[in-house]
Structure 1
Amino acid sequence: MPDLTKPAPAVPSEGVGSALLEVDAVTLRFGGLTALNEVSFEIRRGEILGLIGPNGAGKTTCFNVMTGVYQPTSGAVRFDGRTLTKMKRHKITKIGVARTFQNIRLFKSMTVLENVMVGADAHSRVGFWDALLRTPRHRRTEAEATARARELLELVGITARHDELASNLSYGDQRRLEIARAMATNPKLLCLDEPAAGFNPAEKQRLMELIRKVRDAGFTVLLIEHDMKLVMGVTDRIVVLEFGQKIAEGTPDEIRDNPAVIAAYLGVEEEDAS
């Protein structure tokens, strides 16, 4: 069992830049519709990777294949040397992949602290009888999980509200809580699905700072996000999809100047903004 009193370990220097997750020629078809067509890219240890594209580009579908929601028609997804294809979603979580959702999925009738501890339970090996009899092992594990949950709430900036119901938090703080709960599973890869949805500019700036803090705490981050200013400002590399195909990959500067991306995505944004 991992030590829940400690944050996720920093990425060893020799591991920085090596592939943590590989998407290898993934194709996904729904009947006659090809949602993804031989998409390939990798997420490197210690980086923040952005996955972007216009509406309908296939980024959420690709995200769902990577996290076990969908099984690819062909191709493979490998994580830390293990093939995820046909692996159950809870097992994918256990080996180190955590995600948030576009629609916040908290336990609204539980406290903020309890929500994060639910995430820590993903790695708990305390059995039914330990919990029922409150054995020393159970009490020790519970104390470790509580300490870890408080550390994560401090990291995301809502530790002062630990004993409030999740339903009483503002929308922005509920987003922060969801990120803390995902981190409580002690993942090697944290996948954030549209975390800035519904945020005002000030909240987006704070989110950028939080994502950097998460990476600096030792997590590798995959970010799916529509807000181009946020993506360009926080990611190390970006993968761009259009109509289920990868059309570009590179640094934010490279993506910003890529003609195919400008035509498919950024150009649309610039027209809308004018």
Structure 2
Amino acid sequence: MAETTVDRAGAHRAESAPLLQMQQVTLRFGGVVALNEVSFEIHRGEILGLIGPNGAGKTTCFNALTGVYQPTSGQVVFDGQPLGRRKRYQINRLGIARTFQNIRLFQNMTARENVLVGADAHHRTGVLNALFRLPRHRREEAEGHRLADELLELMDLGHRGDDLARNLSYGEQRRLEIARALATKPKLLCLDEPAAGFNPVEKQRLMDLIRRVRDMGNTVLLIEHDMRLVMGVTDRIVVLEFGKKIADGRPEQIQNDPAVIAAYLGVEDDES
């Protein structure tokens, strides 16, 4: 029988170190413990889901690993390097990109220009190169436009490249934000509730896009409330409750985990 994509990804993970490790990360805001000694790994080439009830600490966890917040204790290790007190742009250059719950596009720029902003994150030419349009600057500029057009096509936005971001539909803006994040050429793409506000057709389309992104060689971390989407697209799921990890396993394991059922999916009322 032919080896599947998941089989190949599993074999690769078994042979390589984790791409990202959350190591006993605690994050306090005054007297409030938002994350409490949270540890998990993200393996190269997998789609990991991060779920939990409202207030469980999912977005706080995202913010801790993307440099928005500094852990009170513990550490985040990415591709073998402790992130320490690196700034957000430095973490992005290391290879972590993210989207947000609330869309953060440049609304008065075109779709293509928004993606080019992401592509610029890895350009090395300075002001003089750009001012005098020296060969290196021209090469990077051409490469950026080629990448932007490829990513717009990937996100089914090739026909909207010259349209202002504010004129795109809600679903198109969501996909454009993913394209801009991918333009930074991340090793890890973090998607924060990308299906928020989507109808069932758009959610299925998003699932297909996430799989395509992974099949291109990317690793994906996904926060999402839609359990059908999470169960359908992820390789593994980590569950948080009140800032603590309560489960970590394959989707079918998580579905049947009593702690998850009680904390997140709900339990049947035996007395009803």
- 2:66 and 2:82 mapped to 1: Cα distance? 12
The residue correspondences of 1:60-75 to structure 2 (distance < 5 A) are 60-75=59-74
Report the 3-state secondary structure (helix = DSSP H, G, I; strand = E; otherwise coil) of the residue aligned with 1:76: strand
1:171 aligned residue = 170
2:224 aligned with 1:225, yes or no?
yes
RMSD: 1.8
Deviations 1:65-119, CA, capped at 9 Å, x for gaps: 0111000110000000001121111000001000000000111111111110100
Report the 3-state secondary structure (helix = DSSP H, G, I; strand = E; otherwise coil) of the residue aligned with 2:75: strand
C-alpha displacement at 1:18, in angstroms? 3.5
Query: Which structure 1 segments of 5+ residues have no match?
Result: 1-10
- 2:107 and 2:57 mapped to 1: Cα distance? 31
The residue correspondences of 1:88-103 to structure 2 (distance < 5 A) are 88-103=87-102
1:211 aligned residue = 210
The residue correspondences of 1:193-212 to structure 2 (distance < 5 A) are 193-212=192-211
Residue identity opposite 2:24 in structure 1: A
2:181 aligned residue = 182
Q: Aligned residue pairs: how many? A: 261
Deviations 1:47-82, CA, capped at 9 Å, x for gaps: 000000000101111111011100011000000000
1:246 aligned residue = 245
2:120 aligned with 1:114, yes or no?
no
Residue identity opposite 1:26 in structure 2: V
1:142 aligned residue = 141
Deviating beyond 6 angstroms after TM superposition, the runs of 4 or more aligned structure 1 residues are none
Report the 3-state secondary structure (helix = DSSP H, G, I; strand = E; otherwise coil) of the residue aligned with 1:24: strand
2:18 aligned residue = 19
- 1:126 and 1:31 mapped to 2: Cα distance? 43
C-alpha displacement at 1:136, in angstroms? 2.1
C-alpha displacement at 1:131, in angstroms? 1.0
Deviations 1:19-67, CA, capped at 9 Å, x for gaps: 0000000011111111111000000000000000000101111111011
- 2:20 and 2:13 mapped to 1: Cα distance? 13
Residue identity opposite 2:251 in structure 1: P
TM-score norm. by structure 2 comes to 0.93
- 1:206 and 1:120 mapped to 2: Cα distance? 24
The residue correspondences of 1:117-136 to structure 2 (distance < 5 A) are 117-136=116-135
Report the 3-state secondary structure (helix = DSSP H, G, I; strand = E; otherwise coil) of the residue aligned with 2:162: coil
Residue identity opposite 1:21 in structure 2: L
Query: Which structure 2 segments of 5+ residues have no match?
Result: 1-8
C-alpha displacement at 1:127, in angstroms? 0.7
- 1:15 and 1:58 mapped to 2: Cα distance? 27
C-alpha displacement at 1:262, in angstroms? 0.4
What's the % identity of the aligned pairs? Answer: 71
